[in-house]
């Protein structure tokens, strides 16, 4: 029975990947076989089983997710040729997630997405010190953050996977036992909905997100500077040279951060403006224009005319981190041994603002016992 189940997962993988297409910089190939073996993800770590799960819908869109870090490994979406393009960066095997220099591909991020200045924050007068894993700050929940944890996985049906994780009191220096549930749901309209829920037994802080790296021409197919980006934000949070927000909300008007109308990502990415220099390109949080405080609203749109693929991001969160892949470099080998070079992927991480625990003017990221934290983000793909 177990063997049959494994065999059917392997069959589904090859079926879905046979339709897949890695694309290249100038043209999009209709079909090119991309091989991924579920076995390359099946391993027992600290008594927990790591596996690769496949979600598919009636349009044959497929999403592969590992319960190691709750990572989205591969997302194969229809392109304008009638074929499929794998639009996210990742690795061919679990092992590569342990030994390559980019740690966050596709991962669930927690307890706190993005940076906390000097790894310090206070709650009820008590100071908490976190690991400094991005000197002089803490980044993405620290070295053993959620991206490096084995989540419990429950496949609910062909289109949904539920992941859960219990983070112990003081794990990575954060107070309270935090119980987190994340639902990945592939919808019939080619959306991936990610719903997050968390509760705690002591007052704590949290900022959960997903860290997928996208290239709408296919992972490993060259620059994203030609992609057209729109961000529904009149303001952004300028940063210091260590990427900590200064606390100010600055107008995007007249700056390289004005993406209110579709504009090529590369238009001003080499500007000499102080903010672009501080971010080494784009690595900034945008303050989303919101009509309500909690409805799903359109935050950003990205489009590539090469593949014809459009990505729309909807969220309930107040902010979005637009990161343009400034720390990628071509020594990094990804799926199919393709090079993941400088600025060949972008991230749109929906979230509360970086360093909010130390900025009283930013929306609070505190969670208290008895309350359930809930948020949701949708990545929706279509062809234009
Ligand atoms: C986030 C940060 C970036 C970088 C990436 C991961 O987007 O803002 O500075 O650390 O994660 O490499």
Q: Determine whether the shortest distance from the Cβ of 139 to ligand 1 is under 6 A.
A: yes
Candidate from 2-6, 63-67, 112-116, 129-133 with smallest mean pLDDT: 2-6
| Cβ neighbours, 10 Å, residue 294 | 12
Of 127, 137, 362, which is closest to residue 246 (Cα–Cα)?
Answer: 362
What phi and psi, each to the nearest 5 degrees, are found at residue 251? -65, 140
Position 74 scores a pLDDT of: 95
Find the mean pLDDT for residues 331-340: 94
Sheet with 84-86, strands from edge to edge, namely: 52-56, 62-66, 71-78, 84-86
Q: Tens digits of per-residue pLDDT, 24-54?
A: 445 666 554 355 788 999 999 989 999 999 9
Q: Tens digits of per-residue pLDDT, 273-288?
A: 999 999 999 999 999 9
Q: Tens digits of per-residue pLDDT, 50-63?
A: 999 999 999 999 99
Report whether 131 contacts 94 (CB < 8 A).
no
Pocket test for ligand 1, best of 69, 100, 102, 104 (most atoms within 8 A of CB): 104
- Partners of 339 in the β-ladder: 333
Q: Tens digits of per-residue pLDDT, 122-131?
A: 999 999 999 9
User: At residue 16, does pLDDT exceed 50?
Assistant: no
User: At residue 322, does pLDDT exceed 70?
Assistant: yes
Report whether 140 contacts 175 (CB < 8 A).
no
Position 29 scores a pLDDT of: 60
- Confidence band, pLDDT 50/70/90 cuts, at residue 3: very low
Q: Determine whether the shortest distance from the Cβ of 114 to ligand 1 is under 6 A.
A: yes
CA pair distance 159, 184, nearest whole angstrom: 8
User: At residue 11, does pLDDT exceed 80?
Assistant: no
Position 315 scores a pLDDT of: 98
Q: Determine whether the shortest distance from the Cβ of 51 to ligand 1 is under 6 A.
A: no
Q: How far, in Å, from the CA of 321 to the mean position of ligand 1?
A: 9
- Would residue 349 show up in a list of annotated catalytic residues for this protein? yes
* Pairing verdict, β 319-323 and 373-383: unpaired
Catalytic option among 140, 185, 211, 227: 211
Sheet with 283-287, strands from edge to edge, namely: 250-251, 235-237, 283-287, 319-323, 347-351
CA pair distance 184, 27, nearest whole angstrom: 31
The pTM score is 0.93
Give one DSSP letter per residue of 230-260, joined into a string: EE--SEEE-B-TTS-B-S--EE-TTSTT--S
User: At residue 292, does pLDDT exceed 70?
Assistant: yes
CA pair distance 16, 8, nearest whole angstrom: 12
Which structure tokens are listed for 217? 């021409």
Report whether 85 contacts 77 (CB < 8 A).
yes
Which residues touch 94 (CB under 8 Å, ≥6 apart)? 40, 41, 42, 43, 50, 66, 68
CA pair distance 362, 249, nearest whole angstrom: 10
3-state secondary structure 6-75: HHHHHHHHHHHHHCCCCCCCCCCCCCCCCCCCHHHHCEEECCEEECEEEEECCCCCEEEEECECCEEEEE
Residue 114 is given by DSSP the state S
Q: Determine whether the shortest distance from the Cβ of 350 to ligand 1 is under 6 A.
A: no
3-state secondary structure of 375: strand
In the chain, where are the structural domains located?
Answer: 1-384
Q: How far, in Å, from the CA of 272 to the mean position of ligand 1?
A: 21
Fold of 1-384: Beta-galactosidase; Chain A, domain 5 (2.70.98)
Position 36 scores a pLDDT of: 79
Of 174, 177, 176, which is closest to residue 130 (Cα–Cα)?
Answer: 174
- Would residue 317 show up in a list of annotated catalytic residues for this protein? no
- Confidence band, pLDDT 50/70/90 cuts, at residue 100: confident
Pocket test for ligand 1, best of 100, 108, 347 (most atoms within 8 A of CB): 347
Report whether 90 contacts 96 (CB < 8 A).
no
Tokens 């005319």 -> residue? 305
Q: Tens digits of per-residue pLDDT, 168-198?
A: 999 999 999 999 999 999 999 999 999 999 9
Position 39 scores a pLDDT of: 93
CA pair distance 332, 326, nearest whole angstrom: 13
| Cβ neighbours, 10 Å, residue 190 | 18
Find the mean pLDDT for residues 375-379: 98
Position 30 scores a pLDDT of: 56
Q: Determine whether the shortest distance from the Cβ of 327 to ligand 1 is under 6 A.
A: yes
Position 28 scores a pLDDT of: 63
Which structure tokens are listed for 8? 């059917």
Position 37 scores a pLDDT of: 82
Looking at ligand 1, which residue's alpha carbon is closest to its atom 7?
A: 323
Find the mean pLDDT for residues 12-25: 41
Q: How far, in Å, from the CA of 6 to the mean position of ligand 1?
A: 35
Mean pLDDT of the chain: 92
Q: Tens digits of per-residue pLDDT, 135-157?
A: 999 999 999 999 999 999 999 99
């Amino acid at each position: 029975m177990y063997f049959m189940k494994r065999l059917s997962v392997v069959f589904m993988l090859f079926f879905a990947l046979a339709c897949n297409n890695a694309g290249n910089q100038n043209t999009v190939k209709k079909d090119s076989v991309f091989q991924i073996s579920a076995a390359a993800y099946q391993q027992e770590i600290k008594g927990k089983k790591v596996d690769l799960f496949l979600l598919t819908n009636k349009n044959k869109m497929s999403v592969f997710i590992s319960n190691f870090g709750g990572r989205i490994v591969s997302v194969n979406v229809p392109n304008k040729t009638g074929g499929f393009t794998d639009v996210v960066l990742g690795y061919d095997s679990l092992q590569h997630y342990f030994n390559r220099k980019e740690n966050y591909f596709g991962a669930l991020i927690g307890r706190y997405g993005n940076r906390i200045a000097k790894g310090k924050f206070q709650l009820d007068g008590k100071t908490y010190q976190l690991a400094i894993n991005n000197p002089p700050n803490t980044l993405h929940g620290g070295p053993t953050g959620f991206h490096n944890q084995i989540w419990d996985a429950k496949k609910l049906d062909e289109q949904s996977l539920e992941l859960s994780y219990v983070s112990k009191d003081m794990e990575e220096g954060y107070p309270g036992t935090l119980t987190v549930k994340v639902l990945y749901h592939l919808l019939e309209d080619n959306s991936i909905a990610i719903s997050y829920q968390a509760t705690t037994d002591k007052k704590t802080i949290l900022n959960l997100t997903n860290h997928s790296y996208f290239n709408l021409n296919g992972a490993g197919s060259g620059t994203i500077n030609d992609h057209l980006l729109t961000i529904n934000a009149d303001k952004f949070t300028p940063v210091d040279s260590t990427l900590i927000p200064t606390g100010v909300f600055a107008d995007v008007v007249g700056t390289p951060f004005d993406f209110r109308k579709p504009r090529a990502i590369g238009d001003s990415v080499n500007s000499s403006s102080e903010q672009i220099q501080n971010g080494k390109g784009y690595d900034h949080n945008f303050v989303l224009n919101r009509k309500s405080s909690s409805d799903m609203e359109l935050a950003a749109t990205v489009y590539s005319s090469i593949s014809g693929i459009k990505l729309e991001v909807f969220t309930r969160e107040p902010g979005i981190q637009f990161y343009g892949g400034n720390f990628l470099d071509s020594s990094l080998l990804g799926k199919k041994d393709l090079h993941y070079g400088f600025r060949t992927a972008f991230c749109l991480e929906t979230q509360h603002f970086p360093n909010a625990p130390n900025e009283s003017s930013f929306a609070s990221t505190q969670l208290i016992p008895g309350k359930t934290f809930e948020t949701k983000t949708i990545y929706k793909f279509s062809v234009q």
